[in-house]
Protein backbone atom coordinates (compact mmCIF):
# COMPACT_ATOMS: atom_id res chain seq x y z
CA UNK A 1 0.00 0.00 0.00
CA UNK A 2 1.41 3.37 -1.00
CA UNK A 3 1.98 6.18 1.46
CA UNK A 4 -0.80 8.25 -0.14
CA UNK A 5 -3.33 5.47 0.29
CA UNK A 6 -2.33 4.97 3.91
CA UNK A 7 -2.83 8.65 4.66
CA UNK A 8 -6.21 8.63 2.94
CA UNK A 9 -7.33 5.62 5.03
CA UNK A 10 -6.08 7.33 8.18
CA UNK A 11 -8.05 10.49 7.42
CA UNK A 12 -11.18 8.45 6.60
CA UNK A 13 -10.90 6.60 9.92
CA UNK A 14 -10.55 9.88 11.82
CA UNK A 15 -13.60 11.32 10.10
CA UNK A 16 -15.57 8.17 10.91
CA UNK A 17 -14.60 8.40 14.55
CA UNK A 18 -15.62 12.06 14.68
CA UNK A 19 -18.97 11.17 13.14
CA UNK A 20 -19.78 8.83 16.02
CA UNK A 21 -22.14 10.34 18.57
CA UNK A 22 -20.22 11.81 21.50
CA UNK A 23 -21.26 11.07 25.07
CA UNK A 24 -21.03 14.06 27.46
CA UNK A 25 -19.50 13.69 30.92
CA UNK A 26 -22.80 14.47 32.66
CA UNK A 27 -24.53 11.67 30.75
CA UNK A 28 -21.85 9.20 31.82
CA UNK A 29 -22.16 10.32 35.45
CA UNK A 30 -25.93 9.87 35.49
CA UNK A 31 -25.78 6.55 33.64
CA UNK A 32 -23.09 5.17 35.96
CA UNK A 33 -25.09 5.96 39.08
CA UNK A 34 -28.27 4.50 37.57
CA UNK A 35 -26.40 1.37 36.46
CA UNK A 36 -24.45 0.75 39.66
CA UNK A 37 -25.91 -2.25 41.58
CA UNK A 38 -25.99 -0.23 44.81
CA UNK A 39 -28.78 1.90 43.32
CA UNK A 40 -31.19 -0.93 44.20
CA UNK A 41 -30.57 -0.17 47.87
CA UNK A 42 -32.69 2.98 47.54
CA UNK A 43 -35.85 1.03 46.83
CA UNK A 44 -35.01 -1.71 49.33
CA UNK A 45 -34.44 0.80 52.13
CA UNK A 46 -37.64 2.70 51.32
CA UNK A 47 -39.71 -0.49 51.27
CA UNK A 48 -38.18 -1.78 54.51
CA UNK A 49 -38.89 1.54 56.23
CA UNK A 50 -42.50 1.51 55.02
CA UNK A 51 -43.03 -2.01 56.35
CA UNK A 52 -41.53 -1.09 59.71
CA UNK A 53 -43.72 2.02 60.02
CA UNK A 54 -46.79 0.05 58.97
CA UNK A 55 -46.14 -2.54 61.69
CA UNK A 56 -45.63 0.16 64.34
CA UNK A 57 -48.88 1.90 63.44
CA UNK A 58 -50.73 -1.35 63.96
CA UNK A 59 -50.08 -0.82 67.65
CA UNK A 60 -53.24 1.31 67.59
CA UNK A 61 -55.35 -1.66 66.49
CA UNK A 62 -57.15 -3.72 69.13
CA UNK A 63 -54.89 -6.44 70.52
CA UNK A 64 -56.81 -9.71 70.65
CA UNK A 65 -55.63 -12.85 72.39
CA UNK A 66 -57.27 -16.25 72.74
CA UNK A 67 -56.53 -18.49 75.70
CA UNK A 68 -57.48 -22.00 76.77
CA UNK A 69 -56.33 -23.55 80.01
CA UNK A 70 -56.97 -26.43 82.34
CA UNK A 71 -55.57 -26.43 85.88
CA UNK A 72 -55.48 -28.71 88.89
CA UNK A 73 -55.08 -26.84 92.17
CA UNK A 74 -53.84 -28.09 95.52
CA UNK A 75 -56.57 -26.11 97.24
CA UNK A 76 -59.56 -23.96 96.37
CA UNK A 77 -61.75 -21.35 97.99
CA UNK A 78 -64.22 -23.13 100.31
CA UNK A 79 -66.97 -22.36 102.84
CA UNK A 80 -65.92 -22.39 106.47
CA UNK A 81 -66.84 -25.63 108.23
CA UNK A 82 -69.21 -23.84 110.60
CA UNK A 83 -71.05 -22.34 107.64
CA UNK A 84 -71.28 -25.71 105.87
CA UNK A 85 -72.70 -27.40 109.02
CA UNK A 86 -75.23 -24.64 109.47
CA UNK A 87 -76.35 -24.88 105.82
CA UNK A 88 -76.45 -28.65 106.03
CA UNK A 89 -78.80 -28.47 109.02
CA UNK A 90 -81.14 -26.43 106.84
CA UNK A 91 -81.00 -29.07 104.11
CA UNK A 92 -78.64 -27.22 101.80
CA UNK A 93 -75.63 -29.19 100.68
CA UNK A 94 -72.60 -27.16 99.49
CA UNK A 95 -70.19 -29.21 97.44
CA UNK A 96 -67.62 -26.40 97.10
CA UNK A 97 -65.31 -25.65 94.18
CA UNK A 98 -63.61 -28.45 92.33
CA UNK A 99 -59.82 -28.52 92.24
CA UNK A 100 -59.82 -29.11 88.46
CA UNK A 101 -60.77 -25.94 86.63
CA UNK A 102 -61.19 -25.09 82.92
CA UNK A 103 -61.34 -21.89 80.93
CA UNK A 104 -61.61 -20.85 77.26
CA UNK A 105 -61.32 -17.08 76.95
CA UNK A 106 -60.90 -14.06 74.72
CA UNK A 107 -59.08 -10.85 75.74
CA UNK A 108 -59.31 -7.56 73.80
CA UNK A 109 -57.11 -4.59 74.67
CA UNK A 110 -57.37 -1.20 72.93
CA UNK A 111 -54.62 1.37 73.34
CA UNK A 112 -56.09 4.83 74.02
CA UNK A 113 -52.98 6.85 74.84
CA UNK A 114 -49.41 5.57 74.81
CA UNK A 115 -47.56 8.73 75.82
CA UNK A 116 -46.37 9.25 72.26
CA UNK A 117 -44.41 5.97 72.09
CA UNK A 118 -45.75 4.74 68.74
CA UNK A 119 -45.33 8.10 67.04
CA UNK A 120 -41.78 8.47 68.37
CA UNK A 121 -40.87 4.91 67.34
CA UNK A 122 -42.30 5.65 63.89
CA UNK A 123 -40.10 8.74 63.67
CA UNK A 124 -37.06 6.67 64.67
CA UNK A 125 -37.83 4.10 61.96
CA UNK A 126 -38.09 6.82 59.32
CA UNK A 127 -34.92 8.58 60.46
CA UNK A 128 -33.05 5.27 60.53
CA UNK A 129 -34.18 4.71 56.95
CA UNK A 130 -32.98 8.23 56.09
CA UNK A 131 -29.55 7.44 57.56
CA UNK A 132 -29.29 4.25 55.50
CA UNK A 133 -30.43 6.12 52.39
CA UNK A 134 -27.86 8.88 53.04
CA UNK A 135 -25.11 6.29 53.44
CA UNK A 136 -26.15 4.76 50.13
CA UNK A 137 -25.90 8.19 48.49
CA UNK A 138 -22.38 8.58 49.91
CA UNK A 139 -21.36 5.23 48.42
CA UNK A 140 -23.00 6.06 45.10
CA UNK A 141 -21.30 9.45 44.98
CA UNK A 142 -17.89 7.76 44.91
CA UNK A 143 -18.84 6.36 41.48
CA UNK A 144 -18.64 9.87 40.02
CA UNK A 145 -14.91 10.09 40.71
CA UNK A 146 -14.36 6.71 39.02
CA UNK A 147 -16.25 7.99 35.98
CA UNK A 148 -14.06 11.10 35.92
CA UNK A 149 -10.89 8.99 35.96
CA UNK A 150 -12.01 6.86 33.01
CA UNK A 151 -13.64 9.69 31.07
CA UNK A 152 -10.60 11.97 31.10
CA UNK A 153 -8.28 9.03 30.45
CA UNK A 154 -10.30 8.28 27.34
CA UNK A 155 -10.28 11.94 26.37
CA UNK A 156 -6.48 12.11 26.77
CA UNK A 157 -6.01 8.99 24.65
CA UNK A 158 -8.18 10.52 21.91
CA UNK A 159 -6.05 13.65 21.95
CA UNK A 160 -2.88 11.58 21.84
CA UNK A 161 -4.22 9.62 18.89
CA UNK A 162 -4.91 12.88 17.06
CA UNK A 163 -1.38 14.08 17.82
CA UNK A 164 -0.03 10.73 16.69
CA UNK A 165 -1.83 11.17 13.38
CA UNK A 166 -0.33 14.65 13.03
CA UNK A 167 3.09 13.22 13.87
CA UNK A 168 2.73 10.55 11.20
CA UNK A 169 1.61 13.16 8.69
CA UNK A 170 4.67 15.30 9.45
CA UNK A 171 7.02 12.32 9.15
CA UNK A 172 5.32 11.22 5.94
CA UNK A 173 5.85 14.67 4.46
CA UNK A 174 9.53 14.57 5.41
CA UNK A 175 9.81 11.05 4.05
CA UNK A 176 8.38 12.17 0.75
CA UNK A 177 10.90 15.01 0.52
CA UNK A 178 13.78 12.67 1.37
CA UNK A 179 12.59 10.22 -1.26
CA UNK A 180 12.99 12.96 -3.87
CA UNK A 181 16.39 13.97 -2.49
CA UNK A 182 17.51 10.34 -2.41
CA UNK A 183 16.37 9.85 -6.00
CA UNK A 184 18.43 12.88 -6.96
CA UNK A 185 21.45 11.61 -5.08
CA UNK A 186 21.44 14.46 -2.59
CA UNK A 187 21.02 12.27 0.54
CA UNK A 188 22.17 8.78 1.36
CA UNK A 189 19.89 5.78 1.48
CA UNK A 190 20.50 5.50 5.25
CA UNK A 191 18.96 8.93 5.75
CA UNK A 192 15.89 7.89 3.81
CA UNK A 193 15.61 4.64 5.80
CA UNK A 194 15.99 6.51 9.09
CA UNK A 195 12.92 8.65 8.47
CA UNK A 196 10.94 5.62 7.32
CA UNK A 197 11.89 3.70 10.48
CA UNK A 198 10.84 6.64 12.64
CA UNK A 199 7.46 6.74 10.94
CA UNK A 200 6.98 3.01 11.58
CA UNK A 201 7.83 3.54 15.25
CA UNK A 202 5.10 6.18 15.45
CA UNK A 203 2.68 3.76 13.79
CA UNK A 204 3.50 1.22 16.49
CA UNK A 205 2.80 3.83 19.13
CA UNK A 206 -0.61 4.37 17.55
CA UNK A 207 -1.35 0.65 17.78
CA UNK A 208 -0.58 0.74 21.50
CA UNK A 209 -2.71 3.87 22.01
CA UNK A 210 -5.66 2.32 20.18
CA UNK A 211 -5.47 -0.79 22.38
CA UNK A 212 -5.41 1.34 25.53
CA UNK A 213 -8.30 3.45 24.28
CA UNK A 214 -10.43 0.40 23.49
CA UNK A 215 -9.81 -1.02 26.97
CA UNK A 216 -10.75 2.25 28.71
CA UNK A 217 -13.83 2.70 26.52
CA UNK A 218 -15.00 -0.83 27.36
CA UNK A 219 -14.50 -0.27 31.09
CA UNK A 220 -16.34 3.06 30.96
CA UNK A 221 -19.18 1.48 28.99
CA UNK A 222 -19.43 -1.35 31.54
CA UNK A 223 -19.48 1.09 34.44
CA UNK A 224 -22.13 3.30 32.83
CA UNK A 225 -24.24 0.51 31.37
CA UNK A 226 -24.30 2.27 28.00
CA UNK A 227 -22.07 2.07 24.94
CA UNK A 228 -19.48 4.85 25.09
CA UNK A 229 -17.55 5.03 21.84
CA UNK A 230 -16.63 8.70 21.73
CA UNK A 231 -16.36 11.37 24.39
CA UNK A 232 -16.37 15.12 24.05
CA UNK A 233 -14.12 17.65 25.73
CA UNK A 234 -16.16 19.42 28.44
CA UNK A 235 -15.88 23.20 28.77
CA UNK A 236 -13.67 24.75 31.39
CA UNK A 237 -15.63 25.73 34.48
CA UNK A 238 -15.05 27.94 37.49
CA UNK A 239 -16.27 26.02 40.53
CA UNK A 240 -17.34 27.80 43.72
CA UNK A 241 -20.19 27.88 46.19
CA UNK A 242 -21.37 25.98 49.24
CA UNK A 243 -20.49 22.38 49.89
CA UNK A 244 -23.40 20.03 49.19
CA UNK A 245 -21.65 16.68 49.54
CA UNK A 246 -23.84 13.72 50.63
CA UNK A 247 -21.44 13.07 53.53
CA UNK A 248 -22.77 16.24 55.18
CA UNK A 249 -26.34 15.12 54.60
CA UNK A 250 -25.45 11.79 56.23
CA UNK A 251 -24.27 13.63 59.36
CA UNK A 252 -27.50 15.67 59.46
CA UNK A 253 -29.52 12.45 59.17
CA UNK A 254 -27.56 10.89 62.05
CA UNK A 255 -28.27 13.91 64.24
CA UNK A 256 -31.99 13.77 63.42
CA UNK A 257 -31.98 10.07 64.31
CA UNK A 258 -30.45 10.84 67.71
CA UNK A 259 -33.15 13.47 68.33
CA UNK A 260 -35.86 10.96 67.43
CA UNK A 261 -34.34 8.36 69.75
CA UNK A 262 -34.36 10.88 72.58
CA UNK A 263 -38.08 11.42 72.05
CA UNK A 264 -38.52 7.66 72.52
CA UNK A 265 -36.77 7.96 75.89
CA UNK A 266 -39.18 10.73 76.87
CA UNK A 267 -42.19 8.71 75.77
CA UNK A 268 -40.99 5.74 77.82
CA UNK A 269 -41.61 7.80 81.00
CA UNK A 270 -45.23 8.60 80.18
CA UNK A 271 -48.21 6.60 81.52
CA UNK A 272 -50.34 4.40 79.23
CA UNK A 273 -54.12 4.36 79.11
CA UNK A 274 -56.06 1.54 77.54
CA UNK A 275 -59.51 -0.04 77.62
CA UNK A 276 -60.05 -3.77 77.67
CA UNK A 277 -62.66 -6.48 77.50
CA UNK A 278 -62.29 -10.01 78.80
CA UNK A 279 -64.61 -12.94 78.41
CA UNK A 280 -64.38 -16.67 78.98
CA UNK A 281 -66.43 -19.81 79.14
CA UNK A 282 -65.44 -22.22 81.86
CA UNK A 283 -65.50 -23.24 85.44
CA UNK A 284 -65.45 -21.57 87.89
CA UNK A 285 -66.99 -18.26 86.87
CA UNK A 286 -66.94 -14.92 88.57
CA UNK A 287 -69.80 -15.94 90.85
CA UNK A 288 -67.91 -18.51 92.88
CA UNK A 289 -70.70 -18.93 95.44
CA UNK A 290 -73.00 -20.09 92.66
CA UNK A 291 -70.31 -22.42 91.32
CA UNK A 292 -69.82 -23.91 94.79
CA UNK A 293 -73.45 -24.83 94.78
CA UNK A 294 -73.93 -26.09 91.22
CA UNK A 295 -70.47 -26.78 89.73
CA UNK A 296 -71.42 -25.87 86.15
CA UNK A 297 -69.69 -24.11 83.22
CA UNK A 298 -70.77 -20.52 82.55
CA UNK A 299 -70.08 -17.46 80.41
CA UNK A 300 -68.25 -14.62 82.14
CA UNK A 301 -67.19 -11.17 80.97
CA UNK A 302 -65.51 -7.98 82.09
CA UNK A 303 -64.83 -4.54 80.57
CA UNK A 304 -62.75 -1.75 82.02
CA UNK A 305 -60.01 0.83 81.65
CA UNK A 306 -56.38 0.46 82.69
CA UNK A 307 -53.79 3.10 83.51
CA UNK A 308 -50.21 1.90 83.80
CA UNK A 309 -47.10 3.88 84.58
CA UNK A 310 -43.79 2.05 84.50
CA UNK A 311 -41.03 4.22 85.93
CA UNK A 312 -38.34 1.61 85.28
CA UNK A 313 -37.08 3.75 82.38
CA UNK A 314 -35.78 6.22 84.95
CA UNK A 315 -33.11 3.75 86.01
CA UNK A 316 -31.31 3.87 82.65
CA UNK A 317 -32.42 7.27 81.40
CA UNK A 318 -29.22 9.11 82.35
CA UNK A 319 -26.98 6.53 80.66
CA UNK A 320 -29.22 6.35 77.61
CA UNK A 321 -29.14 10.12 77.14
CA UNK A 322 -25.37 10.12 77.57
CA UNK A 323 -25.08 7.47 74.84
CA UNK A 324 -27.19 9.59 72.50
CA UNK A 325 -24.99 12.60 73.19
CA UNK A 326 -21.93 10.51 72.34
CA UNK A 327 -23.58 9.57 69.04
CA UNK A 328 -24.15 13.26 68.32
CA UNK A 329 -20.53 14.03 69.18
CA UNK A 330 -19.33 11.26 66.88
CA UNK A 331 -21.48 12.59 64.04
CA UNK A 332 -20.18 16.13 64.51
CA UNK A 333 -16.62 14.83 64.67
CA UNK A 334 -17.20 13.00 61.39
CA UNK A 335 -18.40 16.27 59.89
CA UNK A 336 -15.28 18.12 61.08
CA UNK A 337 -12.96 15.39 59.76
CA UNK A 338 -14.71 15.34 56.39
CA UNK A 339 -14.70 19.13 56.03
CA UNK A 340 -11.01 19.32 56.89
CA UNK A 341 -10.04 16.64 54.36
CA UNK A 342 -12.38 18.20 51.82
CA UNK A 343 -10.79 21.63 52.27
CA UNK A 344 -7.35 20.09 51.82
CA UNK A 345 -8.51 18.46 48.57
CA UNK A 346 -9.93 21.73 47.29
CA UNK A 347 -6.74 23.63 48.17
CA UNK A 348 -4.71 21.04 46.28
CA UNK A 349 -7.07 21.21 43.31
CA UNK A 350 -6.94 25.01 43.24
CA UNK A 351 -3.14 24.87 43.25
CA UNK A 352 -3.14 22.30 40.45
CA UNK A 353 -5.58 24.38 38.39
CA UNK A 354 -3.38 27.48 38.75
CA UNK A 355 -0.26 25.44 37.91
CA UNK A 356 -1.74 23.88 34.77
CA UNK A 357 -2.99 27.25 33.58
CA UNK A 358 0.52 28.64 33.89
CA UNK A 359 2.07 25.61 32.21
CA UNK A 360 -0.33 25.87 29.27
CA UNK A 361 0.73 29.46 28.65
CA UNK A 362 4.37 28.41 28.32
CA UNK A 363 3.36 25.29 26.35
CA UNK A 364 1.98 27.41 23.52
CA UNK A 365 5.21 29.38 23.32
CA UNK A 366 7.33 26.22 23.42
CA UNK A 367 5.30 24.63 20.61
CA UNK A 368 5.70 27.72 18.44
CA UNK A 369 9.48 27.73 19.02
CA UNK A 370 9.79 24.00 18.40
CA UNK A 371 7.83 24.34 15.16
CA UNK A 372 10.19 27.07 13.90
CA UNK A 373 13.23 24.99 14.84
CA UNK A 374 11.79 21.99 13.00
CA UNK A 375 11.04 24.05 9.90
CA UNK A 376 14.61 25.40 10.02
CA UNK A 377 15.94 21.84 10.33
CA UNK A 378 13.98 20.78 7.24
CA UNK A 379 15.56 23.63 5.29
CA UNK A 380 19.06 22.80 6.55
CA UNK A 381 18.61 19.16 5.63
CA UNK A 382 17.60 20.12 2.10
CA UNK A 383 20.87 22.10 1.82
CA UNK A 384 22.95 19.37 3.37
CA UNK A 385 23.87 21.33 6.49
CA UNK A 386 22.51 18.70 8.95
CA UNK A 387 21.73 15.01 8.69
CA UNK A 388 18.35 13.33 9.01
CA UNK A 389 18.90 12.39 12.66
CA UNK A 390 18.91 16.06 13.57
CA UNK A 391 15.63 16.54 11.72
CA UNK A 392 14.02 13.54 13.44
CA UNK A 393 15.15 14.91 16.79
CA UNK A 394 13.49 18.27 16.13
CA UNK A 395 10.30 16.61 14.86
CA UNK A 396 10.12 14.51 18.03
CA UNK A 397 10.83 17.55 20.20
CA UNK A 398 7.90 19.39 18.63
CA UNK A 399 5.69 16.35 19.06
CA UNK A 400 6.69 16.01 22.72
CA UNK A 401 5.80 19.66 23.29
CA UNK A 402 2.37 19.17 21.73
CA UNK A 403 1.75 16.04 23.80
CA UNK A 404 2.80 17.86 26.96
CA UNK A 405 0.41 20.69 26.19
CA UNK A 406 -2.44 18.23 25.65
CA UNK A 407 -1.67 16.45 28.92
CA UNK A 408 -1.70 19.76 30.79
CA UNK A 409 -5.02 20.75 29.22
CA UNK A 410 -6.73 17.45 30.06
CA UNK A 411 -5.31 17.50 33.59
CA UNK A 412 -6.60 21.06 34.01
CA UNK A 413 -10.09 19.96 32.96
CA UNK A 414 -9.93 16.94 35.24
CA UNK A 415 -8.92 19.06 38.23
CA UNK A 416 -11.81 21.43 37.53
CA UNK A 417 -14.36 18.63 37.40
CA UNK A 418 -12.80 16.86 40.38
CA UNK A 419 -13.31 20.07 42.32
CA UNK A 420 -16.89 20.13 41.07
CA UNK A 421 -17.30 16.68 42.59
CA UNK A 422 -15.50 17.76 45.78
CA UNK A 423 -18.26 20.27 46.62
CA UNK A 424 -21.10 18.57 44.70
CA UNK A 425 -21.70 21.71 42.66
Task: Kindly report which listed range (46-50, 90-94, 263-267, 298-302) carries the lowest average pLDDT score.
Answer: 90-94
Angle (CA) 382 384 388, round 5° = 75
Tell whether the model's pLDDT for residue 192 goes beyond 90: no
Whole-number pLDDT of residue 67: 93
Residue 373 lies in a domain: yes
Mean pLDDT value across residues 365-385:
86
- Shared domain for 324 and 251, answered yes or no, is yes
SS3 21: coil
Residue 99 lies in a domain: yes
414/352 Cα distance (integer angstroms): 10
Residue 228 lies in a domain: yes
Residues making up the chain, counted from first to last: 425
Q: Can you point out the beta strands (E) in 293-380?
A: 298-308
- Shared domain for 92 and 140, answered yes or no, is no
Whole-prediction pTM value?
A: 0.78
Residue 44 lies in a domain: no
In angstroms, the Cα distances linking 295 to 81, 91, 104, 191, 285 are: 19, 18, 16, 128, 10
Residue 366 lies in a domain: yes
Domain count, the chain: 2
- Shared domain for 69 and 95, answered yes or no, is yes
- Shared domain for 277 and 362, answered yes or no, is no
Task: Kindly report which listed range (61-75, 149-163, 387-401) carries the lowest average pLDDT score.
Answer: 387-401
The phi-psi region of residue 295 (left if phi > 0; otherwise alpha if psi is between -120 and 50; otherwise beta) is left
Tell whether the model's pLDDT for residue 18 goes beyond 50: no
Distance, first Cα to last Cα, the chain: 53
pLDDT class of 188 with cuts at 50, 70, 90: confident
209/161 Cα distance (integer angstroms): 7
Range of the domain at 66: 62-113+273-308
- Shared domain for 234 and 350, answered yes or no, is yes
The total of other beta-carbon atoms located within 10 Å of residue 351's CB is 11
255/327 Cα distance (integer angstroms): 8
Tell whether the model's pLDDT for residue 120 goes beyond 50: yes
- Shared domain for 231 and 172, answered yes or no, is yes
Handedness of CA 170, 176, 179, 181 (dihedral sign): negative
**393-415, pLDDT tens digit by residue?**
888 898 899 999 999 999 999 99
Residue 131 lies in a domain: yes
Residue 340 lies in a domain: yes
Tell me which of 355 and 378 has the higher pLDDT.
Answer: 355
- Shared domain for 68 and 30, answered yes or no, is no
Whole-number pLDDT of residue 405: 93
15/170 Cα distance (integer angstroms): 19
- Shared domain for 232 and 290, answered yes or no, is no
Least Cα distance to 28 among 264, 224, 202, 319 occurs for 224
- Shared domain for 283 and 353, answered yes or no, is no
In angstroms, the Cα distances linking 44 to 32, 129, 254, 307, 373 are: 19, 10, 19, 39, 65
Mean pLDDT value across residues 210-231:
93
- Shared domain for 337 and 390, answered yes or no, is yes
Q: Residue 263 sits in a domain of what CATH number?
A: 1.20.1600.10
Amino acid sequence: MTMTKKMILLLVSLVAVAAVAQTPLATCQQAAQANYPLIKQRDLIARTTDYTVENLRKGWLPQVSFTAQATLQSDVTAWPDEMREMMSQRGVEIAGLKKDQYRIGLDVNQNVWDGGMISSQTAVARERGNVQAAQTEVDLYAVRRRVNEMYFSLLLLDEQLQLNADHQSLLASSEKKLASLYAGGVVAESDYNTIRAERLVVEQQRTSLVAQRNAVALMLSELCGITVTQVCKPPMVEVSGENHRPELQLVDAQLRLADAQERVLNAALMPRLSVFAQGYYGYPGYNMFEDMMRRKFSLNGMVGARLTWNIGALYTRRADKAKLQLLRDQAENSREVFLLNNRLDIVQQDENIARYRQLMKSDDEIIALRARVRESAESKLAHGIIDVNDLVKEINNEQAARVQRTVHEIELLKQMYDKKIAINN
